[in-house]
Amino acid sequence: MILEEYIKILAQEDKLVTVKKGISKNLDIAGVLKSIEPQPALFENLIDSDFRVAGNLFCTKAQIADYFGIAVEDIIPTLTRAIENRSSPDVVDEAPCQEVIREEVDLDTLPILIHNKVDGGPYISSGVVVTSDPEFGQNLDFHRAMQIGKDRMVIRVVKGRDFHKFLERNSEIDVAFCIGNTPEVLIAAATSVETGIDELEIANALRSIRVTKAKTVDLLIPADCEFVLEGRVVLQEKHDEGPFIDLTETVDVIRQEPTFQVRKITHRKNAIWQALLPGRAEHKILMGMPREPTVYKSIKDAGIDVLDVNITPGGASWLHVAVKVRKKHEDEGLKAIEAAFAGHRSAKHVWVYDEDIDIYNEEEREWAMATRFQADIDLLIKDKEPGSSLDPSAESGTKMTTKCGFDCTKILDAKGKSYEKAEFPKVDLQDFLGDY
Ligand SMILES: Cc1cc2nc3c(=O)[nH]c(=O)nc-3n(C[C@H](O)[C@H](O)[C@H](O)COP(=O)(O)O)c2cc1C
């Protein structure tokens, strides 16, 4: 499905806010999106660009499940299957994302938003970067990019990302920034799989996509995205990047990051720019959700009957993991904590719960911790390990952090203790109150 079709469906189902009044890409669009979040919006009339902008498109798991026509609880199995059963997309010669090939590169004509007063400049925040290495082949990642000229950007590349590895090996590298993607590509780009796996094959396994050759670089790109910025990234040509809001909703510092020389812009005839609010729900969903299958698999591979995994929004959808297991041996709570950390290296705190706890309900999770957790035996501390670069409390520069896990499962041999919530009698209110 292309973005425009999806937006039409949202409109037909009365789920879309359509803004017809003139609006600026400078702060105003971000302000509206934040105010109406998680409701999707289409801005039809920008005063400072000829293109339309859409945002808040995939802010909740329900929106993503709806897109794929599955239930929310089927997201983890669906992603797991796609990661395991990758397949090559069809290659096409004529691609909608190249309907218009711009003669001149002028980033000012695009609706690159300024999201917040503190931002260092206009930012692309929904760009999926396609790149390639002679040995490993193609890779997909997200990288935010700040505009610093009519044809130049500076991009944030966290050490350890495949793209960072490729840059270190090649020192400069061709890229295609693809903007306006549907969830197949967005989710695949956010998975962290073995270097050498082309995430476009994960996207294609989620739902068939088409790819095409980029115009000026030797890369295969999603044929149905809305905009493509082709060019070259040079590791040693650095520029100030930031400030910008990161996943934790705090303002990230200014760093020296590699620059991106944009050489060609192509797009659809009536292209729609995809806005994505940094640090807000859509950013969080796209970061955390693709890690849930890897945590789930790691716990399952440890021989534990894992039922569900939730990378919780309160933990910035990155640092906190809630796990539900059917415990069969007393040590499985702590083993599940170790396995969850192995499945998501950036996680900082992990909680493990029994099957009767709703891991999407904060109050129930707290209740389980209050009634089933004993710190001297159920707490697992991992002193000073590499954690997430996004955690402001981690040691700056090294990312070293102290991780811990909480086994909130009840002991198997309850010895006369009651761990279950008592049930009240079930009555039919009609019998006693009538139509009250
Ligand atoms: C919306 C969004 C924005 C992101 N921005 C960046 C970024 O600016 N820099 C970065 O290094 N990673 C960023 N990430 C994270 C990586 O793209 C993501 O973790 C990816 O899975 C890493 O893949 P890799 O294991 O192939 O390197 C972002 C992720 C999302 C979902």
User: What does the radius of gyration of the chain's CA atoms come to, in whole angstroms?
Assistant: 23
Rounded Cα distance, 180 and 165, in Å: 26
Nearest to 193 by CA among 184, 185, 202: 202
pLDDT of residue 413: 87
Mutate to test the pocket of ligand 1, among 161, 191, 255, 318 (most ligand atoms within 8 A of CB): 161
Written as one letter, the residue type at 181 is: N
Pairing of strands 128-133, 172-179: antiparallel
Rounded Cα distance, 47 and 44, in Å: 10
Q: Measured from the CA of 192, which atom of ligand 1 is nearest?
A: 25
Task: Kindly state whether residues 147 and 295 are assigned to the same domain.
Answer: no
pLDDT of residue 151: 98
Q: Is residue 71 part of a domain?
A: no
Q: What is the pTM of this model?
A: 0.93
Task: Kindly state whether residues 309 and 232 are assigned to the same domain.
Answer: no
- Last residue of a domain, which of 202, 237, 268? 268
Task: Kindly state whether residues 109 and 199 are assigned to the same domain.
Answer: yes
Q: Measured from the CA of 129, which atom of ligand 1 is nearest?
A: 17
Q: Is residue 183 part of a domain?
A: yes
Task: Kindly state whether residues 132 and 93 are assigned to the same domain.
Answer: yes
**What CATH number has the domain bearing residue 117?**
2.30.110.10
Q: Domain limits at 121? A: 88-268
Q: Is residue 201 part of a domain?
A: yes
Task: Kindly state whether residues 182 and 295 are assigned to the same domain.
Answer: no
SS3 content of the chain, % helix, strand, coil (to 5): 30, 30, 40
Per-residue pLDDT of the chain (436 residues; tens, 9 = 90+): 789 999 999 999 999 999 999 999 999 999 999 999 999 999 999 999 999 999 999 999 999 999 999 999 999 999 999 999 999 999 999 999 999 999 999 999 999 999 999 999 999 999 999 999 999 999 999 999 999 999 999 999 998 899 999 999 999 999 999 999 999 999 999 998 999 999 999 999 999 999 999 999 999 999 999 999 999 999 999 999 999 999 999 999 999 999 999 999 999 999 999 999 999 999 999 999 999 999 999 999 999 999 999 999 999 999 999 999 999 999 999 999 999 999 999 999 999 999 999 999 999 999 999 999 999 999 999 999 999 989 999 998 888 999 999 999 999 988 878 898 899 999 999 999 998 7
CB 314 within 8 A of CB 295: no
Task: Kindly state whether residues 398 and 335 are assigned to the same domain.
Answer: yes
- Last residue of a domain, which of 268, 302, 318? 268
Q: Which residues line ligand 1 (CB under 6 A)?
A: 139, 141-144, 156-158, 161-162, 190-192, 276, 283, 286-287
Q: Is residue 120 part of a domain?
A: yes
Beta strands in 270-359, from DSSP E residues, in sequence order: 272-274, 305-311, 320-326, 349-353
Q: Is residue 320 part of a domain?
A: yes
pLDDT of residue 30: 98
How many independent structural domains does the chain possess?
3
Nearest to 238 by CA among 262, 254, 253: 254
Task: Kindly state whether residues 304 and 259 are assigned to the same domain.
Answer: no
Q: Is residue 26 part of a domain?
A: yes
Task: Kindly state whether residues 42 and 97 are assigned to the same domain.
Answer: no
Task: Kindly state whether residues 248 and 319 are assigned to the same domain.
Answer: no
